[in-house]
Structure 1
Amino acid sequence: MFVLAISAFILVICSPVSPFKEHWFTQQLDHFDDNNDRTWMQRYYYNFESYRTGGPVFLYIEGETAARPSFLFRGQFAEMALEVGAAMYLVEHRFYGESKPTADTSVKNLRYLTSEQALADLAAFIRNKTAAYGRDTWVTFGGSYPGALSLWMRLKYPSLTRGAMSASAPLVAKVDYSGYNDIIERAILTVSGENCTKALASAVAEVQELLKTDTGRTELYTKFNLCEYLGERDYKTFQFAIHNRIAWIVQYNEIPTSEVNLTIPQLCQHMTNESLGDEVTRYATIPMHGLSADNQKPNTLDRETLLSLSGLQCLHADYKMTIASLRVPKFNAQRTYFYQLCNEFGWFQTSDGVRQPFRGFSFDYFFDRCYMVFGRKFTPARIVRGIAKTNEIYGGRKIAENITNAYIFNGGIDPWHPLSYIGQSDHIQGYSPPGNPTFHALYDPESSHCAITNTDFPTDSNKLRESRKLAMKYLKSWIQYK
């Protein structure tokens, strides 16, 4: 989430080719306007290979990226389907991938891009397939933003599903989410110690000093391999861009399927290695390689190779170019997801927190981007109202008290977990809020974003393994599996 410039490329590298064909479903453009009869075609995939007569139906919810049908044959979703004999569907989110409800993504058309419309899409899909095949035991799955959709689906359409599974779901919409970077600081400190956090903070502070002079900006241009010399309006964009590299590493720390992603210990080994140069030089040359298949040697996808493969020979930090690219009303996940952030969720990862190493991108930077990209109606007051409305619609963390047959997993290394529901402070595994015994909170202090959605891996913690077993136990109770 919110590192789309990197994540889109990572997914291309990591996702295996799918053997399943794409299919199309006719959807209403506006589910809440009876006078609007416009329709569009939504892409979906299915896999019935694990299905046994009388088995449930699993619905994997996609989010702010193109559909990834590889989830139909790998990971926790596919393994659970195999064990209980489930049919599997995977549905692409409107305005992402090839699911294009309108001719373009003009602001006029983006009014149809809301979480409520996305949930109504899923409801229509379930109703149609239930009527066609007579299978009415549906369970939804999702991780990150789709994890929130999975729980919200259970809240808004409880009669259509038997249960909901969710991983790392941000349930609270929030304007200034500086807590994201606070967790990055805490995660690095917990995993690798204060030498690393001090080196990172020192590098960030020195970058701010270098931005004050022509000589300093020239040094940054060279060390960070920038595409353009930095003007004054570029400073915030530059500092946010280099922050994203650290954010990506921490958010997906030690996820075995992300072969091109560095771990926190590897990041810190780099940042504390004085033989590589001063702290700014180390900050500028953080590689993006992870572990090879044998989990021992770094693979060959270093920073320069990734830049070459992605067609990027340098780092873009030009404010005008960033705004211009986001304003083009084409189907682009960075534009559509940014619209959702400005319109419904916020989740702006600012540097305003006092317990983080980053500086240079306050919430005014994100407000400005919303205004410049989507027009004068996107004032700070309007953005704040939209985010407050989201919390009114879904209830934030109170959803744990209001839905049945659901679980949510979170990891302590994941920067998104403060916006989720983690139960009590002592993190009792499977904790249920008072009066709601079928809602469960699973938590592993050592895990990162959506870690539960992968299959068991040798380096997984005992709590992560336990969480997967409990998830299966809860699922079987919902569907009355024998």
Structure 2
Amino acid sequence: MVFHSLFLLQLLLLFSLTTATAKRLHTIPPRLSPIEPRVWLDHPDQNLGESVREDFETFFYNQTLDHFNYRHESYDTFPQKYLINSKYWGGSDTDCSAPIFVYLGAEAPINGSLDTIGFLVDTAVHFKSLLAYVEHRYYGESIPFGDEAFKNASTLGYFNSAQAIADYAEIIIDIKKTFQAENAPVIVIGGSYGGMLASWLRLKYPHIALGALASSAPVLYFDDITPQDGFYSIVSKGFREASETCYQTIRESWDVIDEVASKPDGLSELSERFNTCATLASAAVLKTHLIEMYISAAQYNAPPTYPVNKVCGGIDGGGFGDDVLAKIFGGLVAYKGNGPCYVNAPAYQSALPGGWSWQRCSEMVMPFGFGKDSMFQPKPFDIEAYIERCKQTYGVPPRVDWVTSYYGGHNISLVLQRFGSNIIYSNGLRDPYSIGGVLRSISDTIVAVNAVNGSHCLDLRFANQYDPHWLVDQRNSEINIIQEWIDEYYHDARCSTKSHI
């Protein structure tokens, strides 16, 4: 699966920042993609995007390299990919056209979103909307400088969220001109990092987007606004709710791994016990792999598969033995399925730094630490070590406070109540990136819609027969709010023709 390969690639890029040497374990920056890794065969009814691919037409926009400078090289351009689905569109009108829904691509090629991000397609008939899916610069086929793009900070310097949002604004304007729909209301939609972009675009370019649906957008995970151990606390809570014995086994396993690794042939023993693809260079490699498995299972703990339950079923089942390491290996097999080997897969060895790794080393600095009450070994976020690793990798230090300086975040309720409008921050309260416990309804038009048992970006997936009632209610709430925005827009614009409403 292409996204399984992408997931492995992203892990390597993250590991380059989290393991300065193989001898020391650092906290792992989780992935933000709304698309879960394909580590087992999903339920067939969960992947509905293949049937709608034929409804999309691919375009490339001649995008400006640098929107914020007037140097000669800033006027260079690159082809930026986007896809259009006009199957359900109500058409254009002199005064007010049918709405346009724009999905903002995040840290992955945009084509993969067609298979999984179904909210726009599911609601297109209701809204009679034109659908656009736009790829983020430096991902997929939208890469400036070609093979030189990730060479150094000189070419990567144009790779940031502000440039990306400006890209989206330009493309939206061009789409409206192309479809003669200059007066169409636009709703931007994104998940996780893309959800941050959606909310920020609405705030920075209110003349472009009428509203934004920001699904699982961790806009408050900067500058210690959210406690450093917040993410891993929710991960731990999910496992503890699934099985207390599973949770305790995981907590105990770290010391057991360290104890075995300290023996003369300890790494060989661990390699054998966990059937690794290559001999472990350190215990940190194994522990990092397991931590990533646990956080991924928790982040995408969605029906009908519920990967946390899968992992805990393997750990508690005792199918490989009764000792701690055997139980942990049982959880690994349950999560990934039977395979020739686990950990240290060859795919981890070939990639160069880039993509999300660069973004984390420039502006997306999220301080994640292991708290003493989590199922992981306590370790605070070490900002100095983080900065040093980024400097070693790219030659430049991260701008730690830039996101909150440019987009805000501190005192967000007070600030947005005074000037913001038409943003939905949707969350699942079991999602480690949930801000539901921090961000409540700010005003009538900036709301947090929270699904009690929801996982990461679950509301953006295609609806199917396995959706629980709380997920159906979540989506209906979002649809009703967006409908109110559009109705008010048409009312204020005094549309003469309303056949598309």
TM band (smaller chain): 0.7 to 0.9
Q: Cα distance, 1:287 vs. partner?
A: 4.5
Taking the aligned partners of 1:125 and 1:11, their CA distance within structure 2 comes to 34
Conserved? CA contact 1:173–1:345, under 8 Å:
no
Q: Which amino acid aligns with 1:370?
A: C
Q: Any residues of structure 2 matched to 1:259-274 within 5 Å, and which?
A: 263-274=307-318
Q: 1:240 to 1:346 in 2, by over 3 A?
A: farther
The alpha carbon displacement at 1:325 in A equals 4.9
Match of 2:357 among 323, 331, 338: 338
CA distance in 1, matches of 2:449, 2:199: 14
Q: Percent identity?
A: 25
Q: Distance in 1 between matches of 2:156 and 2:85?
A: 31
How far residue 273 of structure 1 moved from its aligned partner, in angstroms, is: 2.0
Alignment of 1:85 with 2:136, yes or no, is no
Letter paired with 2:193: Y
Q: Shift of the alpha carbon at 1:226? A: 2.6
Q: Return closer, same or farther for 1:51/1:164 CA change in 2, 3 Å cut-off.
A: same
CA-CA distance at 1:369 after TM superposition: 4.0
Q: Which amino acid is the alignment partner of residue 84 of structure 1?
A: F
Separation in 1 of the partners of 2:368 and 2:286? Answer: 14
Select 2:430's aligned residue among 413, 416, 423: 413
Q: CA deviation at 1:145?
A: 0.5
User: How far did residue 115 of structure 1 move?
Assistant: 0.3
Deviation at 1:450, TM superposition (A): 0.7
CA contact (8 A) 1:236 1:361 kept: no
Pick closer, same or farther for the CA change 1:449–1:336 going to 2, 3 Å.
Answer: same
What SS does the corresponding residue of 1:270 show, helix, strand or coil?
helix
Write the deviation string for residues 190-214 of structure 1: whole angstroms up to 9, x where unpaired.
2x23222111111222112222223
| 1:218-257 superposed matches below 5 A | 218-231=268-281, 234-256=282-304
Structure-2 separation of matches of 1:391 and 1:149 = 13
Superposed, 1:71-470 pairs within 5 Å as: 71=114, 75-103=118-146, 104=148, 105-106=150-151, 107-135=153-181, 136-174=184-222, 177-190=228-241, 192-231=242-281, 234-256=282-304, 263-277=307-321, 278-287=323-332, 302-304=337-339, 313-316=341-344, 325=350, 328=352, 335-347=354-366, 349-350=368-369, 352-359=370-377, 363-364=381-382, 366-367=386-387, 369-375=389-395, 377-378=396-397, 383=398, 386-396=399-409, 398=412, 400-401=416-417, 402-418=419-435, 423-424=439-440, 432-433=441-442, 436-470=443-477
Please list every run of 5 or more consecutive structure 2 residues that lacks an aligned counterpart in the other structure. 1-5, 12-30, 92-96, 491-500
CA gap 1:248/1:69 in 2 versus in 1, 3 angstroms:
closer
Aligned equivalents of 1:355, 1:325: Cα separation in 2: 36
Q: CA deviation at 1:337?
A: 0.1
Relative to structure 1, is the Cα distance of residues 245 and 75 closer, same or farther in structure 2, using a 3 angstrom cutoff? same
Question: For 1:28 and 1:11, how far apart are their aligned partners in 2?
Answer: 37
The residue type paired with residue 125 of structure 2 is: L
CA distance in 1, matches of 2:218, 2:249: 30
- How far apart, CA to CA, are the structure 1 residues paired with 2:234 and 2:358? 25
How far did residue 240 of structure 1 move? 1.7
Measure how far apart 1:360 and its partner are. Answer: 8.0
Give, as a single letter, the amino acid of the residue that structure 1 aligns with 2:177.
Answer: A
CA contact (8 A) 2:119 2:460 kept: yes
CA distance in 1, matches of 2:177, 2:317: 62
Q: Secondary structure in 1 aligned to 2:427? A: strand
Structure 2: distance between partners of 1:446 and 1:262: 11
Q: Distance in 2 between matches of 1:97 and 1:222?
A: 37
- Aligned residue pair count: 431
What corresponds to 2:22 in structure 1? none
**Cα distance in 2 between the residues matched to 1:211 and 1:287:** 19
Give the drift of 1:372: 3.4
Q: How far did residue 471 of structure 1 move?
A: 0.7
TM-score where L is the length of structure 1: 0.81
Contact 1:72 1:88 in 2 (8 A): no
In 1, Cα distance between equivalents of 2:367 and 2:286: 16
How many Å separate the matches in 2 of 1:32 and 1:120? 9
AA matched with 1:223:
R
1:31 aligned partner, one-letter code: H
Contact 1:72-1:78 within 8 A present in 2 as well: no
* Structure 2: distance between partners of 1:144 and 1:131: 29
SS at match of 1:174: coil
Mapped partners of 1:302, 1:207: distance in 2 = 22
Gaps of 5+ in 1: 291-300, 330-334, 425-431
Comparing 357-366 and 234-243, the one that deviates more: 357-366
Question: Could you state the TM-score of these two structures normalised by the residue count of structure 2?
Answer: 0.78
> Does the residue aligned with 2:163 lie in a helix, a strand or coil?
helix
CA distance, structure 2, for counterparts of residue 96 and residue 238 of structure 1: 29
Moved more, 408-417 or 360-369: 360-369
Alpha-carbon shift at residue 268 of structure 1 (Å): 1.4
Whether the 8 Å contact between 2:90 and 2:129 is mirrored in structure 1 is yes
Residues 394 and 12 (structure 1), Cα distance of their counterparts in 2 relative to 1, 3 Å cut: farther
Please show how residues 1-20 of structure 1 align to structure 2 within 5 Å: 4-5=10-11, 10=38, 16-17=49-50, 18-19=53-54, 20=56
CA contact (8 A) 1:262 1:288 kept: no
Deviates more, 1:152-161 or 1:461-470: 461-470
Contact 2:318–2:330 (CA<8 Å) still a contact in 1? no
Which of 57, 70, 73 is 1:34 aligned to? Answer: 70
